[in-house]
Every structure is written in structure tokens, then in C-alpha cells.
């Protein structure tokens, strides 16, 4: 991590979906092929408190935004065979413990909730301290969330990278104070 939260004011920061993403890599075809993809972040917030361990994070992803660049594969993953996005349109994360190095909490995918730990790899505070950008990583096993079909053909483990840009809730445009 490159900075600390001391340059930021305490309070509510909202996730800017246009400056945020969840990307992943996984394997398919019995581990032979690399697949890269993404999910869109729908909304979220960080309640920054002092000390940072009293902070809280929530985020909601659009499960139907699953994209790998292969329309047929994307439709199959969104179908009832795997994510079943018509029945489970949201992927939700709620933190339970926050530190400057990691965020642990509960991830709900496909109607199943499991604990996850995200390792914070980078944090950048805006020039005016009005917001921040965080990158964190984790690895999940899709079968832990009841997404069990197509073993061997669809990757079991996903390496996730979460990048979120957060702006103080009092700001509307989400760009104030960012250094170029």
C-alpha cells in the first residue's frame, strides 16, 4: 500500500462506478486456457472512521455484467447453469473487519454467502483529500458459492482484482482534487 488514510477526512465515501471495476482471471478447458473478464460495480460506500479498524465497506456488483469478450461463454455463465443472473442479479460484499492492509467480510454470490479476505495492494489519495483509489486482490472458489456446473470446462478458481475510486459523499461529480 502506498499511502495511509490520515490524509483523508473521516466520513462517508461513495464508490464511483465509472472509475471502478472488478476484473478476474481464471482457467478453462481443464486449465489449459486463460480467461480474463470483468464485472461492473453497481454501487457501494466506505464509511471511513478513526481508527481505520472501525471503518466499513459495502459494494454491490451487477452479476449480469459478467463479460469475457466471448458472447457465447458470457451467456452460458449468466444462465441458470452457473450464475443464474435472472434469479441472482446482485453480488454483494459487506465488510466485517478493515485495516490498511486487508478487508475481510462476507461475499454473497448466487444466493450463497461466504467469508472472503481482500489484500489491499495500493491506495492513492486525491490531491485535495476528497477521495481515494484502492486496489485489492483475492482468490475465490466458485464452487463455495454453489456455482458448480461445468467442472473442467469452466474455471473453478477466480483471481479477482478490485479497483475502486471513492469520492466524499458531499461531492457530486467524482473528479474533484484528482492529480493527473
Domain of residue 70: give its range.
5-168
Q: Which residues have a Cβ under 8 Å from the Cβ of 28 and sit 6 or more positions away? A: 35, 153, 154, 155
**Total structural domains within the chain:** 1
User: Is pLDDT of 34 > 70?
Assistant: yes
Domain membership flag for residue 129: yes
Domain membership flag for residue 173: no
Q: Give per-residue pLDDT as tens, 150-180.
A: 776 777 889 999 999 999 988 755 444 443 3
Domain membership flag for residue 177: no
User: Is pLDDT of 1 > 60?
Assistant: no
Global pTM exceeds 0.75 = yes
Domain membership flag for residue 178: no
C-alpha distances (whole Å) from 147 to each of 84, 108, 119, 156 are 9, 12, 24, 9
Domain membership flag for residue 174: no
Long-range contacts of 104-109 (CB under 8 A, 24+ apart): 105/57, 107/140, 107/145, 109/63, 109/83, 109/142, 109/145, 109/147
Q: How confident is the model at residue 31 (pLDDT cuts 50, 70, 90)?
A: low
Residue 149 maps to which CATH number? 2.40.128.110
Amino acid at each position: 500500500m502506498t499511502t495511509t488514510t490520515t490524509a483523508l477526512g473521516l466520513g462517508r465515501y461513495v464508490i464511483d462506478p465509472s472509475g471502478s471495476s472488478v476484473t478476474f482471471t481464471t482457467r478453462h478447458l481443464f486449465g489449459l486456457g486463460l480467461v480474463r473478464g470483468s464485472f461492473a460495480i453497481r454501487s457501494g460506500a466506505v464509511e471511513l472512521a478513526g481508527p481505520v479498524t472501525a471503518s466499513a465497506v459495502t459494494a454491490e456488483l451487477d452479476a449480469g455484467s459478467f463479460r469475457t469478450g466471448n458472447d457465447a461463454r458470457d451467456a452460458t455463465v449468466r444462465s441458470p447453469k452457473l450464475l443464474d443472473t435472472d434469479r441472482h442479479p446482485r453480488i454483494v460484499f459487506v465488510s466485517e473487519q478493515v485495516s490498511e492492509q486487508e478487508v475481510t467480510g462476507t461475499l454473497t454470490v448466487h444466493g450463497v454467502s461466504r467469508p472472503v479476505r481482500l489484500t489491499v495492494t495500493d491506495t492513492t489519495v486525491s490531491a485535495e483529500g476528497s477521495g481515494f483509489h484502492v486496489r485489492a486482490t483475492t482468490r475465490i472458489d466458485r464452487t463455495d458459492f454453489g456455482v458448480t456446473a461445468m467442472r473442467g470446462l469452466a474455471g473453478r478458481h477466480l483471481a479477482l482484482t478490485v479497483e475502486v475510486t471513492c469520492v466524499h459523499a458531499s461531492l457530486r461529480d467524482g473528479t474533484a482534487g484528482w492529480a493527473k
